[in-house]
Structure 1
Amino acid sequence: MKHILYLLFFTSILSAQTTLSPKVEAIYQQMTIDEKIGQLNLITPGGTVTGEVVSKNVNEKMKNGQVGGIFGIRGAKKVRQAQQIAVDSSRLGIPLIIGMDVIHGHQTIFPIPLGLSCTWNMDLIEKTARQAAREATADGLMWTFSPMVDISRDPRWGRISEGNGEDPYLGSQIAKAMVRGYQGDDFTDPTTMLACVKHFALYGAAEGGRDYNTVDMSKVRMYNEYLPPYKAAIDAGVASVMTSFNVLDYVPASGSKFLFRDVLRDEWGFDGFVVTDYTAINEMIEHGVGNLQTVSATALNVDIDMDMVGEGFLMTLKESLEDGFVTESDINEACRRILKAKELLGLFEDPYRYFDEERASKEILSDEFRAFAREVAAESFVLLKNEDDILPLEKTGKIAVIGPLADSRRNMLGTWSVSGDHSKAVTVIEGIREVAGEGVEILYAKGSNISDDPEFARKVNAFGPEIVIDERSSAILLEEALIVANQADVIVAVVGEAADMSGESSSMANIGLQPEQLELLKALEKTGKPIIMVLYNGRPMTLNWESENMDAILDVWFGGTEGGNAVADVLFGDKVPGGRLTTSFPFHVGQIPIYYSMLNTGRPNFGETAQKFRSNYLDIPNQPLYPFGYGLSYATFDYSPMVLSDTLFSNTSDIKVNVNVKNTGDREATEVVQLYVRDVVASISRPMKELKGFQKIRLAPGEEKQVEFTIDQSMVEFYNVDLEKVSEPGLFEVMIGPDSQRLERRNAILKK
């Protein structure tokens, strides 16, 4: 118990209790210690399962006041029944908070979050969260375990699909947009729900890209590069925070006083509630820091309020109170935070306000919502290659649609689409047939399996048959594809990952196409027919051969319910691709981690050719295959030289940076104008460039717009070795361009 005593010694009692309304305060005053502990217990009847444990005796526990919330079930009628048990059968009738993983849409599914981030469109992203909240709250839900804002620079990590990429600035803007979308500005509106930012903290930096693995980094890097998106969500008013599975400074995150007392509560002033991830308290036992009683007391003592599924709080906190390892005031405060969240949601006034079956029938998967999902998906796609402007396709002739994902409805929604109905999704070939019209003859062949390996398929298919190994042999599938390809004018090859080859517990060492698919592409390439590769993926992939040999590559991530229609919209030019990468695509897995904002070295490589005694590889380049911010369009854009209003700025003055951007193509299109800054000389080594602003603009053919950015002191602030936020005088480079590599540079000086 020495760990508990140590924590208790350093635990400071909060200066003020969470304030409750008189009505809720009166209920709280009647609560026994068992009922208070019961409010800290979050259980699942088994709907959304992301661990090995499912709660037992759920109804009995709700009747006994041993449950504060449930998750994993949905449906206004079904969830009403659970709420009724808590309200009508427990002693005090305290309503439940009911959650669900609403990650990229509820039943109308949007692109995976990594795809959404590639829109660089904060209004659009906020609207996706708003629409998801409307559907979810009509389905009996009031709390979402989203947004996930973990910075990740390792595409081997499966959950990179669930986040916003590698950059803290862009990730921060998306975090704020998602929180605003879910929560709105008025919780009395029953179409709003509580958001939960996760995973606090640093989960995306797991060593080796292996899920749940160790994280180890300096606090300087943590503050400058990994914490900003969480802080942005806190500043946006997020109601709850979820812990992460990894360790920090060798301490499991769910027991970290530094994270939850020092940073979250004291430094950032967060007054909402903290929930663990799935059985995260119990998993501290495997980390080697104590038994269930010890780790449960540790979690409470660092301000963890709610225990997801593990029930360590329920089973041990009363004993720990009697033993003096926790204080009653900490149990009280955790309980009050949970009650406050329920009060915010209006549950004490009307426990059933989220169970509107009539609204559910009108809103869920409505034509309006599906049309918006189609629009969002098209905007998320990133055109990686378009040799000789082969895209967009004409709506004439014969098109061969080939590949294991061309007609795979099961894989269209992507990972973490827990409430999505795959049968409602539109496949790529369905979308192409609808959009192409009668003037195009569409031919189809599967061509290959996603994978021929039954053991690999078994692992991927944990949630259902995503990799289905055809009864026909690989040779027959390939032969059928070649027959179809040779009849066509152009080939659309739809390849990539199955939906759950990325996501939680889906780390991959090989992040290229599976061998069977690469063999298919190589055979198709030998036909001499032009090939457009449509790529389904939940992570950056290694695509060296594909980049060399495909005529066009369109990265469509997992586009969601309307993804198939959106793919067709872009292929035929009804929509112009405007997505830009938010993660660097490695040339080789040996480069990982690879990201644009690396520090310089004492022996940098100044070119692309390897040099002896410089920081480079002998066998591969330093540069990524596709850099952060990259993406092509059906239009072309010219940038004028940038103009700085001054070369000096200070605490009280700033610099205006202007650049003119002209659409030199023949189609209306969007461009993402990106601003980067480099601190050339500082007290610590600083990144070679950092994103500090962006604007997404739409230009008609021949149209020119002036884009202006303001550079002020906040853009050059950073945390120094003492974790003080400072801005130091010196020389800065200002850079503007269409991605993190194609940049014009100018110097500016901060004068204090």
Structure 2
Amino acid sequence: MNSTTVLRSAIFSVCSLFGIQAIACETQPNQPAIYKNPDCSFEARADDLLARMTLEEKISQMMNAAPAIPRLQIPAYEWWNEALHGVARAGAATVFPQAIGLAASFDTHLMGDVASVISDEARAKHHDFISRDSRLRYQGLTFWSPNVNIFRDPRWGRGQETYGEDPFLTAAMGVEFVKGLQQTDGKYRKLDATAKHFAVHSGPEANRHEFNAKPSERDLYETYLPAFRALVQDANVKSVMGAYNRVNGESASASQRLLQDILRKDWGFKGYVVSDCDSVEDIYLFHKIVPTAAEAAALAVKTGDDLNCGKTYAALKEAVDKKLITEQEIDVSLKRLLLTRFELGMFDDAKKVIWARIPYSVNQDSSHDQLARRAAQKSIVLLKNNGILPLSSKQKNIAVIGPTSDEIMSLLGNYYGTPAAPVTILQGVRAAAPAGTQVNYARGVDLVEGRDDPRAAPIIEPSYLRPDANSKEQGLKGEYFRGRDFAGKPIFTRIDSRISFRWDRGSPTDDAVARGEIKTADAVPADNFSVRWTGQLTAPTSGAYEISVAANDGMRLYINGALVIDSWDLSARLQSKSAKIDLQAGKSYAIKLEYFEDIRDAEVRLSWRLPNSKPGVEEALDLAKAADVIVFVGGLTGDVEGEEMTVNYPGFAGGDRTDIHLPQVQQRLLESLKATGKPVVVVLTTGSALAVDWAKKNADAILVAWYSGQRGGNAVADVLWGTENPAGRLPITFYKGDEKLPAFDDYSMHNRTYRYFTGEALYPFGHGLSYSEFKYSNLKLNKKAVRKQDEIQVAVDITNTSNRDGDEVVQLYAQPVAVKKEQAIKNLRGFVRVHLKAGETQTVHFTLKPNKALIRYDLASKQYVVDKGKYQLQVGASSSDVRLHDVISVK
């Protein structure tokens, strides 16, 4: 850029700042249109483009699938993208622990690192798609994450997407996530984040399209709004998504109060609002607020919803014709959408946008994989330990038992990408076991009662597979083709160690593209592909084997040239077919598996049951009796808890839960394992709280692994053997099994979460143990009599009194003394995760401002206030484990 251009750009910036149209940005002969001129301000360019569009063109750009406008050289753009814990639904991407697991780390620095990696992969993937002129869903730069709803009830299936039950923790983690996504180079923004679902939304899933949430004003302002406000005012989040349900009678996607009065007027939000998908349609179909699509579309735009995920805004032309809305009102919303596309650099030469230079090779980079493992390590919560952990090399026989031990879905949760080499907990334990340690595995039971799981049979391990008779490699040769007919040469060939894949809306060769092994143009497509695996199968023992293939769509299995399984029909539903085959120990058999995928969510598994295999529970108990220690891995997966699902098993309904206990079929197995007299370590995979009362009393140790991401199995094993010292903390309360929870659809916070719960928790918010021990001492406050605007400096010494290094999460709570007005029992107001070497002491500092930390919402004045009086500041290891406290007085 020469000096004249630099000067002109500076003039444009100043003019734009003061609302003056720069002369050089006026339409001039032989000059590009203003909207095409990268030297003009984004504001001027958006105004210019808007002025050139017809009403029909404007309306077309206000829905998530915005079509191209060739006459204006506007490319098509799909606004819908997801990045909850990694770039989702766009093929290969690094998968980090689910959001609830990231929250359990209580580590905002980690969250920033994770978000930065996600944004790198997102930009790289976007520009790779654009280079192929692919502009489909899940390929853009506008991401509908994070979810900062409050996890107020453990039964909510989508609670796993949140940062837990506390507004302060949710805000802290959410702000770092947004900052990591929305980095800027001074001109162009890297990505857009979206704070969702504004503002009162946390189930039930089954009736979310017609439900009316009725929070009190106090709950609205003290629980449901604070995290959103923080993301708007502290992180400058560029997008906010409305919710499906009504809030006190108004659709959350067409609410004058939420979207205009609170979001824009009170908080100063300058970005754009997007509806949840088809929630504008709900306004007239289910909420019955207005009778027609045109009226619903007009109402949504007029009350502040700029972008419609769905197609209801197609009725805006009719709404204008009927004078329900003006074109000028439509312009207000559309300008916000055009402005963000300019700010993201979508209309400019990619060479001018530094984010466009991020190479595709960053996707699933080894450093990202290492960060995924570190994030999983930091998220694991040790609930109980009687001394059995960490395991030692003296324990020579480990029995890994349970339905989520070797299940990829127990790592992923929901809204996930496709990891290149996910490590299940069984794989992680086997990889970490000391030399000479035998690790045996039995699934034991299914996840829930009455579920016929096609994935039930054990996967054939790599040690029994060879790509050919003379090879020393383990696994089968995989040949990947376009289409279902295996025509021509394969696009890509590699050795796959285990045939256990779940490609969520992505290509099976995305990881090969990321590693530079093939070009993106040569990648196998995400749909309509086939794979042929060939090699040698060796049996460990002689007898009749039951070999099975579970797959979406079609599969064929050949043994020694004979077709033994034939299911080459198209089926979107996961199905399993099996065949009984006699095999001799030590003998190699030619094996060929052909698989064809037609629609999204490809999945295929090659499994077997050995001769004379006993029923699941019997097999598990036999292994348990011979073991030195039992590692039970169970809980939930995203197959039974999640967003608006059709699941209807005992204890589950529509993606939500009706029972917070461990599923009964698993509980019975767990009790049988303990009855063997062997020590039992329980590892829970879950996105929500589980009432594990029995395990608390009877198990020797309990770990919560959450949905731990692509390296979750390694992370769990690291903790089990003590190469990683656990320090995760519960971001939610674990209630006792007999606790009578408030009605699920009651949005009052009364007796919910640690802030209002008056009972005794099974495990409290903030709880988590370590292999180290820590002493708290020397609590100091810089002042004890304060005014509302003062700063209170809190310092406390933390000493690692053990002989091993470890992390401690130091938590600060504020509790009013002699409460006169109804408010929370206590509130988290600070946390620091600190690493201490054995014997080391560090001083941890907190800064509190009463006008932020001690506020409550006053119904009379309709504003936040600080009551005069005394407040106890508590420092401790959980909301219930207060180590030190002192009292301040607010004048």
Q: TM-score, normalised by structure 2?
A: 0.71
1:294 aligns with 2:432: no
| Correspondence for 1:432 among 429, 433, 447 | 429
The answer to whether residue 344 in structure 2 is matched with residue 345 in structure 1 is yes
The aligned counterpart of 2:722 is 573
Distance 1:463 1:626 in 2: 37
Give secondary structure in 2 for the equivalent of 1:499.
coil
1:718 aligns with 2:843: no
Which residue of structure 1 lines up, in the alignment, with residue 774 of structure 2? 637
Summarize the Cα distance change of 1:420–1:700 in structure 2 as closer, same or farther, 3 Å threshold: same
Q: Cα distance 1:739–1:457, how it changes in 2: closer, same or farther (>3 A)?
A: farther
- The equivalent residue for 1:695 is 832
Q: Which amino acid aligns with 1:225?
A: T
Question: Separation in 2 of the partners of 1:95 and 1:677?
Answer: 51
Task: Please say if residues 641 and 744 of structure 1, whose CA atoms lie closer than 8 Å, have aligned partners that are also in contact.
Answer: no
Q: Is the 8 A contact 1:153 1:166 kept in 2?
A: yes
1:119 Cα offset (Å): 0.5
Quick check: 1:104 aligned with 2:103? no
Instruction: State the distance in 1 between where 2:694 and 2:430 align.
Output: 29
* Letter paired with 2:858: N
What letter is aligned with 2:425? V
1:527 to 671, 676, 682: 676
Secondary structure in 2 matching 1:37: helix
Provide the C-alpha distance between the structure 2 equivalents of 1:478 and 1:29, rounded to a whole number of angstroms: 70
CA change 1:467–1:689 in 2 (3 A) is: farther
The residue identity in structure 2 corresponding to 1:132 is: I
What displacement does 1:703 show?
Answer: 1.2
* Separation of aligned partners in 1, 2:352 and 2:834: 41
Correspondence for 2:630: 491
1:181-221 Cα deviation digits (max 9, x unpaired)? 1111337568x2111110001112x3699755432111221
Q: How far apart are residue 511 of structure 1 and its match?
A: 2.2
Q: Structure 2 counterpart of 1:295, which letter?
A: A
Where does 1:120-131 land on structure 2 (aligned, <5 Å)?
120-131=106-117
**2:446–2:453 contact (8 Å) kept in structure 1:** no
Does the 8 A contact of 1:378 with 1:569 survive in 2?
Answer: yes
AA of the residue aligned to 1:491: I
Aligned counterparts, 1:363-512, within 5 A: 363-394=362-393, 396-417=395-416, 419-421=417-419, 424-454=421-451, 476-505=615-644, 506-512=655-661
The answer to whether the 8 A contact 2:409-2:639 is kept is no
Task: Calculate percent identity across the aligned residue pairs.
Answer: 32
What CA distance in whole angstroms lies between the structure 1 residues aligned with 2:725 and 2:393?
A: 14
CA separation in 1, counterparts of 2:702 and 2:605?
Answer: 23
SS in 1 for 2:769: coil
Q: Which whole-Å CA distance do the structure 2 matches of 1:293 and 1:455 have between them?
A: 45
Structure 1: how far apart are the matches of 2:613 and 2:277?
40
Partner of 2:196: 198
CA–CA distance in structure 1, aligned partners of residues 173 and 879 of structure 2 = 19
Change (3 A) 1:745 1:208: farther
Q: CA deviation at 1:455?
A: 7.7
Letter in 1 for 2:370: A
Give the distance between the partners of 2:240 and 2:836, measured in 1 at CA. 40
**Structure with greater proportional helix content:** 1
d(CA) in 1 for partners of 2:178, 2:300: 26
1:25 to 47, 50, 75: 47
Asked whether the equivalents of residues 413 and 560 of structure 1 are also in contact (C-alpha less than 8 Å), the reply is yes
Unaligned runs of 5+ in 1: 1-15, 44-66, 69-85, 606-621
Counting only pairs closer than 5 Å after superposition, residues 593-672 of structure 1 correspond to structure 2 as 595-599=752-756, 622-640=759-777, 642-651=779-788, 653-672=790-809
- CA 1:467 to 1:304, structure 2 compared with 1: closer, same or farther past 3 Å? farther
| Contact 1:207–1:214 (8 Å) recurs in 2 | no
Report the alpha carbon displacement of residue 653 of structure 1 after superposing the two structures with TM. 3.6
Check conservation: 1:435, 1:565, Cα contact below 8 A.
yes
Q: Distance in 1 between matches of 2:605 and 2:753?
A: 34
1:370 counterpart SS class = helix
Give the corresponding residue for 2:707. Answer: 558
Query: Could you tell me how far apart the structure 2 residues matched to 1:750 and 1:474 are?
Result: 70
Structure 2 residue identity aligned to 1:558:
Y
- Name the residue aligned to 1:175: 174
Is the 2:156–2:204 contact (alpha carbons within 8 Å) kept by the matching residues of 1?
Answer: no
1:585–1:239 CA distance, 2 compared to 1 (3 A): same
Per-residue CA distance 1:429-478 (angstroms, 9 max, x = gap): 21112122423111111111112413899999897889999999997111
2: CA distance, partners of 1:226 / 1:98: 26
- Which amino acid is the alignment partner of residue 426 of structure 1? V
2-structure distance, mates of 1:468, 1:250? 52
How far off its partner does 1:658 sit? Answer: 2.5
Residue 694 of structure 1: how far off its partner (Å)? 1.1
AA partner of residue 616 (structure 2): L
State the AA in 1 paired with 2:853: M
Partner in structure 1 of residue 822 of structure 2: 685
Which residue matches 1:220? 218
Structure 1 residues 288 and 380: CA distance shift in structure 2, 3 A: same
Amino acid aligned to 2:312: G
1:91 to partner: Cα distance? 4.4
Q: Give the structure 2 partner of residue 611 of structure 1.
A: none
CA spacing shift, 1:209–1:121, aligned 2, 3 Å: farther
Three-state SS of the structure 2 residue aligned to 1:139 is helix
| 2:550 matched residue in structure 1 | none
* Residue number in structure 1 paired with 2:268: 269
Shift of 1:22: 3.4
Q: Tell me how far 1:110 sits from its aligned partner.
A: 0.4
Alignment of 1:242-257 (within 5 A): 242-257=241-256
**Partners of 1:219 and 1:725 in 2: how far apart?**
11
In 1, Cα distance between the equivalents of 2:320 and 2:684? 55
> In 2 relative to 1, CA 105–197 (structure 1 residues): closer, same or farther, beyond 3 Å?
same
* 1:10 corresponding residue in structure 2: none
Equivalent residue letter for 1:193: L
What is the Cα deviation at residue 294 of structure 1?
A: 1.6
Distance 1:237 1:343 in 2: 17
Q: 1:569 to 1:119 in 2, by over 3 A?
A: same
Question: CA separation of 1:327/1:590 partners in 2, compared to 1, >3 Å: closer, same or farther?
Answer: farther
Residues 667-687 of structure 1, C-alpha deviations (whole Å, 9 max, x = no match): 111011111111235662121
Which AA in structure 2 matches 1:551?
Answer: D
Matched, 1:312 2:312: yes
In structure 2, give the amino acid aligned to 1:37.
I
- Quick one: structure 1 residues 172 and 652, their matched pair in 2 at CA, closer, same or farther if it must change by over 3 Å? closer
| 1:732 aligned onto 2:871 | yes
CA contact (8 A) 2:660 2:737 kept: no
Distance change in 2, residues 1:335/1:365 (3 Å): same
Give the structure with the larger strand fraction.
2
Q: How does 1:324-363 map to 2 (within 5 A)?
A: 324-350=323-349, 361-363=360-362
Q: Which moved more, 1:524-533 or 1:677-686?
A: 677-686
Match of 1:135 among 121, 137, 145: 121
**Which amino acid letter does the alignment assign opposite residue 273 of structure 1?**
Y
Aligned-partner residue type, residue 215 of structure 1: A
Q: Give the 3 Å change call, closer, same or farther, for CA 628–353 of structure 1 in structure 2.
A: farther
Aligned CA distance change for structure 1 residues 577 and 392 (closer, same or farther; 3 Å): farther
Q: Per the alignment, in what secondary structure is the counterpart of residue 829 of structure 2? A: strand
- Give the match's secondary structure for 1:254: coil
Cα distance, 1:460–1:627 mapped onto 2, change above 3 Å: farther
Note if contact 2:64-2:80 (Cα within 8 Å) is conserved in structure 1: no
Question: CA 1:217–1:368 in 2, change beyond 3 Å: closer, same or farther?
Answer: same
One-letter amino acid matched to 1:715: A
Q: Which deviations, in whole Å up to 9, do the C-alpha atoms of 1:407-431 show, x marking residues without a partner?
A: 22343222121x224x631111211
> Is contact 1:153–1:595 with CA below 8 Å preserved after alignment?
yes
